[in-house]
Structure 1
Amino acid sequence: MESEPATRSGRPPDALAGKLERTEVQRSASSIPGREIVQVLTEIPVGVGSGWHTHPGEEVGYILAGTVTMAIRGRDTLTLHAGDGFLIPPGVPHDARDLGPGTGRMLSTYVVEVGKPLATLLG
């Protein structure tokens, strides 16, 4: 079942909504029991980082615009450009930061546990 974007869905914003502009594109049940698929367009202003956070499932992402560093705990930091993809395993802390010169834009598809917050900021 598909839903409207988060701004009209009545769902509370996720933990990253205060730092980044995030628009839920679609949400649907998954063929994997207990999982749902959520697709989100994220816009990161120049010099802004998401903050270290996790997701309750995989994040499969694609950089639409800009240059974004993706720090992933336990791995080398990636420098991603428009056209690059990335994969974040479930529960792995990571932090995305736009290097500029313009706004970074990424499209992420999450395959996550139903009923869990899409993103959890780490302290």
Structure 2
Amino acid sequence: MTPADPHATSSSDALAGRLKRTELQNKHSSIPGRDIVQVLTEIPVGVESGWHTHPGEEVGYILAGTVEMKIAGQPSLTLHAGDPFLMPPGTPHNALDLGPDTGRMLSTYIVDPDQALASFVDTP
């Protein structure tokens, strides 16, 4: 498999139309039926990702900024640079950059390659 174009985004990633998303790598996993996709996401100050889900785990790390992570059925988390987070498969969530700078997060997804990486859902 050839390396992913570092400036490309997946056409099956609903968030790519709202946020700057750069796919860093996309490889088959040793877990049958799962790929590992790594994405750098930039969220401008005051912008929300919109409520969405992923078809597998999201293992994330805040590189810069302060992000409020709203998670369906749970209290919101305020994440700062250096904070990790884990989103279970299919869990609706919404990220809001609180500023004062652009939020940047690195997310590694362990997902079903036959489904969209991110899909918008109705507000829970």
Q: State the TM-score, normalized to the length of structure 1.
A: 0.93
Shift of 1:24: 0.1
Number of residue pairs matched? 122
For 2:26 and 2:87, the matched residues in 1 are separated by 19
Identity of aligned residues (%): 66
Aligned match of 1:5: 5
User: Runs of 4 or more off by more than 2 Å in structure 1?
Assistant: 5-9
Does the Cα contact within 8 Å between 1:6 and 1:13 map onto a contact in 2?
A: no
1:88 aligns with 2:52: no
Q: Shift in Å at residue 13 of structure 1?
A: 5.3
User: Deviation digits for residues 2-33 of structure 1, max 9, x if unmatched?
Assistant: 53236447x42510011100000001100110
Amino acid at match of 1:5: D
The two structures, once aligned, show a CA RMSD in angstroms of 1.5
Whether the aligned pair in 2 keeps the contact of 1:56 and 1:116 (CA below 8 Å) is yes
Gap regions ≥5 residues in structure 2: none
Q: Residue 12 of structure 2 contacts residue 118 of structure 2 at CA under 8 Å; is this kept in 1?
A: no
Within 1, Cα distance between the matches of 2:33 and 2:12? 21
Distance (Å, rounded) in 1 between the aligned partners of 2:45 and 2:5: 24
Q: C-alpha separation between the residues in 2 aligned to 1:114 and 1:65?
A: 28
Deviation string 1:45-82 (CA, Å, 9 cap, x unpaired) is 00000000000000000000000000111111000000
TM-score by length of structure 2 reads 0.93
Decide whether aligned partners of structure 1 residues 8 and 70 sit closer, same or farther in structure 2, where only a CA change above 3 A counts: closer
- For the residues of structure 1 that align with 2:104 and 2:2, how far apart are their CA atoms? 23
Could you tell me how far apart the structure 1 residues matched to 2:6 and 2:50 are? 21
Whether contact under 8 Å (1:22, 1:43) holds in the other structure is yes
- Indicate the SS of the match to 1:16: helix
One-letter amino acid matched to 1:69: E
